[in-house]
Homo-oligomer: A and B are copies of this chain.
Amino acid sequence: MAAMGALLKFGALLLAAVAACVAWEDGDVWDYDGHKLKDSDFLALWPLPQKVQSSAVSFQLSASRFQFTHAEGSSAGSDCSILQNAFRRYFDYIFGFTKKDRDQRRRNAAGSEVLELQVAITSPDAECDGFPSLTSDESYELSVDQPSAVLKAPKVWGALRGLETFSQLVYEDAYDVIAMTNVLNFSVFPDFPRFAHRGVLLDSSRHYLPLKVILANLEAMAMNKYNVFHWHISDDQSFPYVSRMFPDLSQKGSYHPYTHVYTPADVKMVIEFARMRGIRVIAEFDTPGHTQSWGFGQKDLLTPCYTGSSPSGTYGPVNPILNTTYDFMAGFFKEISTVFPDAYVHLGGDEVDFSCWKSNPDIQKFMDQQGFGKDYSKLESFYIQRLLDIVSSTDKGYMVWQEVFDNGVKLKMDTLIHVWKGNEAQYQAEMARVTGAGYRTLLSTPWYLNRISYGQDWRDAYKADPCNFTGTDAQKKLVIGGEACLWGEYVDASNLTPRLWPRASAVAERLWSDQGVRDISDAYVRLVQHRCRMVERGIPAEPLFTGYCRHEYSGV
């Protein structure tokens, strides 16, 4: 133990030459294929910024001296809770793993230490108290010099992204065998996202997800510059959302009315935790299909199915022919519009099974009256159109799964069409059709991360590109991004996080970085390190392949 104490003295705050940014290696480093790695490989930035410049200079940081500060003239100050909260979070990420190292000595000349990161919010309204949105400005510039690094961003949302990048510049240097400390490469970059909508879908209906799982994944999302949490909160299996207006929905439709629900306070916490990280929370209440669990707490909401001329006792999709259905939806989505601040709500609309509707004589009569013939997609459209009117009246925009578009429902031009079906050729054709019709769209088909296979399947996710379809530039501009989806049939608190990460990181880079960032070998090298960084920060992201992290995951 005495030896360790002595060694720690050298562990102060190192400032190494860039050749040493290789961390735990001396001299040159080679990748698995025998290529000498570039210094920039070791920056391990993820997702890769639009532009990086780094010079052959490194700096040191000291936990005892380094500070985040509000730059003079910044429109945000210490009353900006988003930034203050982020300063604390990133200080912990940067110095948390060497907390025992409080030595005040400095190994290099005084000139090479970064003493502060000045954060300047450059537009008059920093949006400290706002919510992120589809049009939020997430751009930032970062320059690192001594004694001050500077992060400039028009809004706090860009500052959050820049803080993540800044924290990714820090690594533990191996000046000698033991001395590990925090070193920063000199770097400048203007950075911004390629797509405005970069989401992760979690499903809290097939399995209930404890709040801490959701929060942990919001943390991981911020580390990957995701900005949308698509909360698929209800489905056939359970209805965990506690509605103030219709409490029976969760009381009777959740797996358990106390232990497997999200209370209003829980939902608020998720939204605020996400806001602090520049992440929107878009709730999905999928109808008219995927609603078995709604039926327990709301009488007459679902269609009674028939066997021959009598009810079978089972239920189908939402009953679209009753006025009470629309009264309920009006009340329910009015509540949702106030609970979830985001400008969009996801209305689902996927996979409606017509067999129950077909069996029901009242539905058949209604079909005849409306002149729908035997085309049940017209009935579906009838329902959806009334639902869209209801939601529009709450001043919300909406997202829908692609079937709603496919079925020819009349949609407002600001509707977001969520593409999820088919093989590569099919989803590309769909993207072309949707944008050809002038709608904005986002892609999920290649990013159904619940689907697993043996080996490095992150590569396929990485290769997919939402703009790979035949269309005009104007059409391509209608692509707002995409979402990684982790449907819940086979995941819960026990395995969700390692199944999602770092596979969702592959999608994150595709949605943030320039379209030209596609080198899978370079991505591998960076992602291995990014994955270790997530592990160090407490996220049990699974390994890409053989190897190790200096700090292995310590949970079980």
Contacts and interface: CB of A to CB of B under 8 A. Distances in A.
A365 interface: no
Size class of the A contact interface (CB-based, 8 Å): 35 or more
Nearest to A501: B494
Interface string A495-509: 101110000000000
A516 interface: no
Interface in A224-251: 237-238
A369 interface: no
Q: How many monomers of this chain does the complex have?
A: 2
Given A490-B455, A495-B495, A498-B495, A213 B540 contact: no
B450 A453 contact: no
Given A495-B495, A547-B255, A548-B260, A556 B237 contact: no
Nearest to A217: B556
Contacts of A489: 545-546
Interface string A522-556: 00000000000001001011111111101011111
A540 B535 CA distance: 18
A78 interface: no
A104 to B, nearest CB: 27
A358 interface: no
A289 to B, nearest CB: 16
Contacts of A269: none
A213 B555 CA distance: 8
Interface stretch (A69-77, A120-128, A202-210): A202-210
A454 interface: yes
A309 interface: no
A397 interface: no
Contact of A553 (B260, B454, B494, B547): B494
A255 B548 contact: yes
A236 to B, nearest CB: 9
Contacts of A552: 208, 210, 259-260, 492-493
A256 B550 contact: yes
Contacts of A491: 542-543
A494 B450 contact: no
Residue of A256, A491, A542, A548 with highest tally of chain B CB at under 10 A: A548
A451 interface: yes
B553 A492 contact: yes
Contact of A490 (B207, B488, B542): B542
A212 interface: yes
Shortest Cβ-Cβ A-B pairs, 4 listed: A495-B498, A494-B540, A255-B548, A495-B542
13 contacts: A208-B552, A213-B556, A255-B548, A453-B454, A489-B545, A489-B546, A492-B542, A492-B553, A494-B541, A495-B543, A498-B498, A540-B556, A555-B556
